[in-house]
Structure formats: C-alpha cells, structure tokens
Structure 1
Amino acid sequence: MSAADDLPEPDRVEGAPHPRETPRLYGQDAAERAFLDAYASGRLHHGWLLTGPQGVGKATLAWSIARFLLSRPVEEGGGLFSDAPPAADGLAVSPDHPVARRVAALSDPGLFLLRRGPRDDGKALSAQIRIDEVRKLKGFFSLSNTEGGRRVVIVDAADDLNVNAANALLKLLEEPPSRATMLLVAHQPARLLPTIRSRCRELRLVPLSPGDMAAALAQAGVDAGQEEALALAELSGGSVGAAVRLAGLGGIGLYRDLLHLLESLPRLDRPAAIALSERASGRGAEPVRDLLIELLDLAIARLARTGATGAPPPEAVPGEAATLARLAPDMAAARRWAELGQTLGARLRHGRAVNLDPATLILDTVHRIAGQAVR
C-alpha cells in the first residue's frame, strides 16, 4: 500500500457518510424530477452541471444518478436518438442491487470518479484536479467501450480543475463518447470556463428546509431535535455538510455565546468575551477558531440584513431576533454593519495569514463590534 492510499478522500465531509454511501437525497425533488423527465424523453444530455450552495446534496444527487443509470438497460434513455424509456418514479436503487454494491466499492467498470489526487510526493492531496487525472478518462472510455454499456463520470468538484485539466475535460464535453454521461458538481459555476457551462445542462439545487435538514442530519448520523435542526438549518444556510460540521464542533453553543455578547452591548461582558476568545486558542483549537470566525462574520451579516429589511431573519437561537432588531433598527445601521463586516473580514483573513495570536485577534474583533454598537 502506498502513502497515497492513506490520504483522506477529498470529497468526503468529516463526520458524515460519503455521498456515495448516502441512500436518500432530501429537499431536491425539483432537480431530481428534471433529470428523470430528461431521461424519460429519450434525449438524455451527455453533460450535467449540478450547482447550488456547498453541502446541499449535489454530490449525493450525482451518485444517485450514477447508480440509476448504471442499473438501467442501455436501450433505455441511451442518448439523443434513443426511444423514450418507461417513466421512473425516482432515482432510488436498492442497496442490495449489484450496481449499488459496486458503486459503493468504487469497482463498477462503468463509473469513473474524477477528483483531486495525491501530490507528486504522495504525502498530501493536490490543491487542484490536474491534467494527469483527466487523462485517465481516455483509458476509462477506451476500456469500458468493450463492455457496450453506459459510462458515467462524476467530477467532484469541477471548481477544483486547473486550467489545463479544464481544457482537457472540455474536449470530452465537445465530443462526448457514446452512452456517456458526465456529472459535474460545481459550487461556484461562474468560475468555470463559459464553454464548459454552455455544454452542460444545469440542475440547480437549493438550501434545505428545517424539516428536510432534520431528516438529512438523521441519515448522516447526527441526532438533532426539531429545535436544534432549525438552528442548524439557519446557521448553515440550508447546507447539510455545513450543518454536520456545526454539530460536530458545538456550533450552536458557540453562536449562543456570541449572541450573549451582542445582548450585553453596548456595555460588553468582558469576562465572557475573554472566555470565548480563549476557546479558539491553543493546540488543536484551529477548527473551533475557524468556525468562530465564520460565526462572527455571519452574526454581522445577519445584523446588516435586519437593518436593510426592517425585520430579523428566523431565529437561530432564542432571543436573537430582539437583539438584532435593537442593534440594527434601520438602513443606516445596516450600512454601518455591512461596512464593518467588510473591514473585519479583511482583518481576520490577514490575521490568520500572518499567524496573529487567535485569542487576541478574536477579542479585538469583539471589541470592534462593541464599538460599532455604541455609535
């Protein structure tokens, strides 16, 4: 076994099942139906761009489509000139189906997963999908062609393609092999080559509702009650991946402590501020520090939104609405909070880049927020 075999999977969210191991997709009925309608028409497009916020189920949908297509006879929905196949009620494939088992083991001959590979030294993952990874597709299409069946390629994520890799993939999209379907997961599709976007049909996924979030979290092994699921849905922007991370790092408690500081303004509860900043310092505290910085940014954004719209967003934790309304009563306050958010965001990024003491950096940020509340 090489060192590269021990590297983590680049498309797996820590603490959650891999998307290929997730049996059901929640909250994306419209995207699922759009694909099934295209399949039932007998004119299945060869390239699909799965877009939407990170963590809402794009990769899960890609793996669901892959299992669905590879388990169907090639005569069904095979391409632009195929006869229309029988209508399907959904993408679900039994976990006991041979295709489902092979896909879960990454051993199905009709499937190719394109994602970031190891660096040249094999000690860590590459920061990008490089052209060498895309070139492997040529061998995949050549070998799998002898089987005469469908071929499915999942690109997770297309955002990771470097320039050379993107151009190599574009050539395949321009001249797609027969019976091939390429599924590109994209968190920020606007950054992709326009020519790649133009050769794919888009499936847009949306943030999950609290009800769907609770069901998705339960499937991911996160035990969340209705109130906690509502908070996670609000703080994560409807992203299951972000919600799993929040739950694992105690994000709701962090945000509740942060709200306590906002409630104390303009007379800042300094001992509580020091205690909060110290939670983000020390060895092994980097994940909590990064999450706390994100929650600080989120709190300021929610203040700006409250002042701009005249009403606070749905509460993430009890008492939040009253605090947001008090600190951001009008459009003028919204502009001040938005400007502060930009200033603090740049300062926090710089502070992390030059390795400023995390506790000092966060404490200073809290004091600057308190200063804004006095104005």
Structure 2
Amino acid sequence: MSDDALPPDQISGAAHPRDTQVLIGQTEAEAAFLDAWTTGKLHHAWLLTGPRGVGKATLAWRIARFLLATPDADAGGMFATPTPTTLEIPADHPVSRRIASGGEGALKSVIRTVNPDTKRMRKQIVVDDIRALNGFFQLSAADGGRRVVIVDNADEMNVNAANALLKMLEEPPERATLLLISHQPSGLLPTIRSRCRTLRLGTLSPDQMAAALSASDVAVEGDPAALAELSVGSVGGALRLSLMGGLQIYAELVALLSSMPRLDRARAIKLAEAAAQRGAEEKLTLLFSLIDLMLARLARTGATGAAPETEAAPNEAQALTRLAPTPQQGRVWANLAQEVSDRAQHGLAVNLDPAALVLDTLHRIAEHAPR
C-alpha cells in the first residue's frame, strides 16, 4: 500500500494500531476499564482522551479484542468464567486473527473516508460515515453477541456527523460498546462528552518511551532522547519525527534561529522549498508543528531563565538563551507563537503558497528576535 492509500488512522511506515499488540505506559487506563468489566459497570460509550500519539488507538483496539474474545461472566457455580486480570488477548486467538485480517463482523471502525465525487480523502468524518453504523448494528445483532465501534478520531466529525452519533449515544444499541478517540475533547459536543465515560491517557516517561519505540518494530533513526523531547512523551509523535526526518528539520530550524536577528535567507528558502514540494503536505504540517514547538521552548526559556535540560538539536541551548534572555522576551515569544500558529492554520486552510507561507513565518520570527 502506498503512503497515499494509507488510512488516516495509521502513521506512514508504522504498524496500524490494530496490529500493535503491546501498549506501554497506560496501565491506569487499562485497569479502569477492566475494573468496570469485572464489577458489571461496563458503560456503553467510552471517550479515550490524551495527547496525540500516546496509545489511545492501540488501547481502543485492545479493548475491542478483549470485549469480543472474553465470555460474559457466568452466574456462578463450578463452571464460572475466571475473572480476567488483563486486557491482553493472544495474537493467535480467533478474534485477534479475524480483527487482524479485517474479517471481524462484530467490529466496525469509523474513520474519514474517500469522497466518491472527488476521489480524495475527506478532511472530516461526515454524517454518512456515522449513519452506516445503523446497518452494521442491524446485521450484527442477529447472533446476539457484543458489537464494538471505534471512532478514530471523534474530533474530525462535522456537525451533522456529531449529531448523528449523539442520537446513537442517547439510544445505544443493546450489547454495543462505542469507543471514541479524541485528542481535543473540549471541541466535542458537551452532550457527547456527558454520555461517555472518560479514560485519560498520559504522556510516556523517557524509559517508557524507549520501551515503546523498541516494541514498535520500526527502525527508529535519531537520538532517542531528542525524539522524546520533541514528541513531548508521545510515541506516535516520536515515530512521525523519526520516519519523516523531523530531527533534521528541527536542527535546520535551530540553525536558522542561531542566525537571527539576521535571517540566513538562502538557508530559509531551501527549507521552504523542500516543505513546499508536491506530495510533501505531511512534512509541511510537521514543519509548522516544529516551529510551534521551537517558539514554545523559547518562551519557556525566557520565563524560567534556563534552556531545557535536553537539547533537541545542536547548539539549541545557546540559541534559546541568547534569544530569550528575560521574562519579557519570553512573553514576546509566547504571543508570537499564538500568532504564528493562527496564521499557519489559516494559510494552510486557504491553500496559500506553502513556500511563501514558510518564508513569511521565518521572517516574522526574525523580526521579533532581540537585537
């Protein structure tokens, strides 16, 4: 499958969350769900929240395998089902095999779909994607078993899709469990949030990050400490950085920062043109996210009077300290970070020339550098 054909819930070059058997660093969230199961308090809808890339989708697929592979607790007696102590379901279990092959009829994944008119991936989950669940529930109800729906991610639903899902949450199908993945739950309808039980996933520690990257089966390139620093405890973010050359991009940004207040124009043009190439949309998005991060690190350096302990690029601490020497300058960078983020989002939304957008952003940063 080419990168263009990848589903929106998969990182290019990495395994799909469906195929990720190991989840590291989220024992509290797993224990909370398992407790609800064992105490007979299983809610019909769960909202999995937390920063992007910390394992929400992996947990959703683990829960789905568990729900579809684990028999209901018996009423008691000598043949009572043992109480499960883990969500782990072996990879060779029939349910695991069917899910891995996409042949599990009791499971439905809702993601953004291709627009049949334009043949391009939609930017939102639309109402038809949610309404398709009605047919799924009707067909899968015949055997009386559990049914599971994963919405990845719920933040991408448009208004009509959100309202259609809300109706399902208000009148949930029998023996159905809906798992909603959300990076920014504050953007969801309050009525959707109120009808779900929330599982909050946290960022990973450096040791957990190292273990997760090792278990990812991806040949990770770059300094693990730098990847952990730039990804802010998100293994998904670290994988994206590694697979898309994020460390090199950030090092180039820091080199440009070191030249300020005079901007190395030739170097800036080269970076802008690389990010503006056809097919480089993901790298362009990554570039702006790294610019946001660099500005945030500048603001924090000014506020605290010290650069971050871990350098994410050569000579970063020296550049941050020189350009953010005071709390006042730290506030300048904090304000600029919001402005740059808003301008970039608007520019990308209205399809401004990417190279010009990058160059304009770099010039704005240089203009705010102390002289």
Q: TM-score range by the shorter chain?
A: 0.7 to 0.9
Cα distance in 2 for partners of 1:43, 1:21 equals: 28
- Which residue does the alignment assign to 1:304? 299
The more displaced of 345-354 and 112-121 is 345-354
Rounded to whole Å, the distance in 1 between the matches of 2:141 and 2:366 is: 64
Q: Indicate if the aligned counterparts of 1:25 and 1:57 stay in contact, CA closer than 8 A.
A: yes
SS of the residue corresponding to residue 308 of structure 1 reads helix
Q: 1:56 maps to what in 2? A: 54
Corresponding residue for residue 122 of structure 2: 126
Q: Give the structure 2 partner of residue 95 of structure 1.
A: 91
SS at match of 2:128: helix
Would the aligned equivalents of 2:127 and 2:164 in 1 still touch at CA under 8 Å? yes
Shift of 1:94: 0.8
Q: Distance in 1 between matches of 2:279 and 2:159?
A: 35
Asked whether the equivalents of residues 220 and 243 of structure 2 are also in contact (C-alpha less than 8 Å), the reply is: no
CA distance in 1, matches of 2:174, 2:337: 50
Query: Residue 164 of structure 2 aligns to which amino acid in structure 1?
Result: A
> Does residue 1:345 correspond to 2:338, yes or no?
no
| SS of corresponding position for 1:155 | strand
Q: Could you tell me which residue of structure 2 aligns to residue 10 of structure 1?
A: 8
Whole-angstrom CA distance in 1 between matches of 2:270 and 2:86: 50
| Alignment partner, residue 203 of structure 2 | 207
Distance (whole Å) between structure 2 residues aligned to residue 283 and residue 173 of structure 1: 41
Aligned to 1:75: 73
Matched, 1:256 2:264: no
Partner of 1:242: 237
Counterpart of 1:238 in 2: which secondary structure?
Answer: coil
Q: Give the counterpart letter for 1:340 in structure 2.
A: L
Equivalent in the alignment of 1:20: 18
Asked whether the equivalents of residues 51 and 203 of structure 1 are also in contact (C-alpha less than 8 Å), the reply is: yes
Corresponding residue for residue 374 of structure 1? 370
Distance 2:257 2:332 in 1: 16
Secondary structure of the residue aligned to 1:54 is coil
Counterpart of 1:80 in structure 2 is: none
Q: Which amino acid is 1:46 matched to?
A: H
Q: 1:113 aligns with which of 86, 103, 109?
A: 109
> How far apart in 1 are the matches of 2:346 and 2:164?
35
| C-alpha distance in structure 2 between counterparts of 1:291 and 1:105, whole Å | 31
Q: Secondary structure at the match of 1:129?
A: coil
| Closer, same or farther: CA 358–191 of 1 in aligned 2, 3 Å | closer
1:256 maps to a residue whose letter is A
Provide the secondary structure at the position in 2 that maps to 1:178. Answer: coil
Q: 1:151 is matched by which residue type in structure 2?
A: R
List alignment gaps of at least 5 residues for structure 2: none
Output the CA distance in 2 between the equivalents of 1:356 and 1:115. Answer: 27
Q: How does 1:306-321 map to 2 (within 5 A)?
A: 306-313=301-308, 314-321=310-317
Give the whole-Å Cα distance in 1 for the aligned partners of 2:157 and 2:353. Answer: 34
Alignment check: 8 A CA contact 1:40 1:85 kept: no
**Residue number among 112, 133, 143 corresponding to 1:137 in the alignment:** 133
Q: Distance between the aligned counterparts of 1:361 and 1:148, measured in 2?
A: 55
Aligned to 1:167: 163
| Residue of 155, 165, 177 corresponding to 2:151 | 155
Distance 1:180 1:312 in 2: 50
What code does the residue aligned with 1:337 have?
A: W
Question: In structure 2, what is the Cα distance between the partners aligned to 1:65 and 1:75?
Answer: 16
| Aligned residues: CA RMSD | 2.7
**1:47 is aligned to 2:45:** yes
Secondary structure of residue in 1 paired with 2:70: coil
The two structures have a TM-score, normalised by structure 1, of: 0.87
Q: Structure 1 residues 76, 308: closer, same or farther in 2, change over 3 A? A: farther
Q: Show CA shifts across 1:351-370 (max 9, x none).
A: 54566554454344334323
CA displacement at 1:48 relative to structure 2:
0.5
SS at match of 1:154: strand
- Structure 1, unpaired ranges of 5+: 1-5, 78-83
Partner of 2:330: 334
Q: CA 1:366–1:122 in 2, change beyond 3 Å: closer, same or farther? A: closer
For 1:352 and 1:199, the matched residues in 2 are separated by 34
Q: Is residue 222–residue 247 contact of structure 1 (8 Å, CA) maintained in 2? A: no
Q: TM-score, normalised by structure 2?
A: 0.87
Q: Alpha carbons of 1:153 and 1:309: their partners in 2 closer, same or farther (altered >3 Å)?
A: same
CA distance in 2 between partners of 1:351 and 1:131 (Å) = 27
The question of whether the paired residues in 2 share the 8 Å contact of 1:302 and 1:324 is answered with yes
Match of 1:30 in 2: 28
- Report how far residue 71 of structure 1 moved: 0.7
Q: Displacement, 1:349?
A: 4.2
CA–CA distance in 2 between the matches of 1:350 and 1:364?
A: 13
Report deviation, 1:60. Answer: 0.7
Aligned residues: 363
CA distance in 1 between counterparts of 2:347 and 2:157 reads 29
- On the 8 A contact 2:54/2:203 being kept in 1, the answer is yes
Change (3 A) 1:18 1:150: same
